[in-house]
Amino acid sequence: MQNVGRVFMEMTRYTNLSISDQQQGGTPPPLEKPCPENGEQIVLPTPDSIVTQQLDLREAIAIRSSVRTYAKAPLTLHELAYLLWSTQGINEIAHPYYTKRTVPSAGGRHAFETYLLINRVEGIPPGLYRYIAFSHRLIEIDTSSGIADKVMSACLGQPFVRSSAVAFIWSCVIYRMSWRYSERAYRLVHLDAGHVCQNLYLAGEQIGCGTCAIGAFDDEEMAQIIGADGTEEFVIYLATVGKKKKMVGL
């Protein structure tokens, strides 16, 4: 389709929006997907127990860059917990209307769910997991031997997905945002994705990690991997993280 991007921008202008379900008095959707009863669960270290090195924000912004090659060293559980808190940590809950988190989101609706392809984290078997932000824990989704190759393939074969310590996969539950903002929600969730990923870059610098955002992926394959329908919940963004390789002086 030609000019589909232009049509999207035109049709999501405020003058073209339909009345939202919130405006019509509709019940707001849950602020988090239900947590399955089955599946291995991993309680993460609490945010206030995590100790990180001091890093000036200006320095972190200056040295931030996309890194696609990583050392073989694993992340610790504390480091992973810090990255998760930095990108989706909850500071305040106002059921059922909004949460305040470590990143901004339109109306505090926070439409994202965080999935992790874990390759090298101390104490966690490799596999696909989901972050349960409300209780700050992980739940196992798929620990089959081929899951990393599936995620890499869905990222159009980019090899650093497989060689990273962790790949963050952010999905969007769109009605969580469109309940309030109607069709405008599809614009807003893309803005929110940038907020989340930039926090990951900066938090990664503080623990000696490099990060690389990924926008090139097969939407249908990624949705299938995380068990989403691709319409009501779809993958919006990914990013890999791993320890930086030490530079050897000449």
DSSP per residue, 33-52: PPPPSSS-EEEPPPGGG---
Looking at residue 66, what DSSP letter applies?
B
DSSP state of 115: E
Q: How far apart are CA 196 and CA 3, in angstroms?
A: 28
Return mean pLDDT, the chain: 95
Share of the chain above pLDDT 90, in %: 92
Can you give the pLDDT at residue 52? Answer: 87
pLDDT of residue 249: 46
The count of domains in the chain is 1
Q: What is the pLDDT of residues 201-247, one digit of tens each?
A: 999 999 999 999 999 999 999 999 999 999 999 999 999 999 999 85
CATH assignment of the domain containing 157: 3.40.109.10
Write out the residue range of the structural domain in which residue 136 sits: 40-243
Is 130 domain-assigned? yes
Residue 89 lies in a domain: yes
Instruction: Flag whether 14 is in a domain.
Output: no
Is 237 part of a structural domain of the chain? yes
In a domain? residue 2 = no
Average pLDDT value for residue range 70-87: 97
| Enclosing H/E stretch for 128 | strand 127-132
Structural domain contains residue 3: no
What letter represents residue 114's amino acid? Answer: T
Residues 6+ apart with CB under 8 A from 65: 210
User: Predicted confidence band at 94 (pLDDT cuts at 50, 70, 90)?
Assistant: very high
Residue 39: the pLDDT is 78
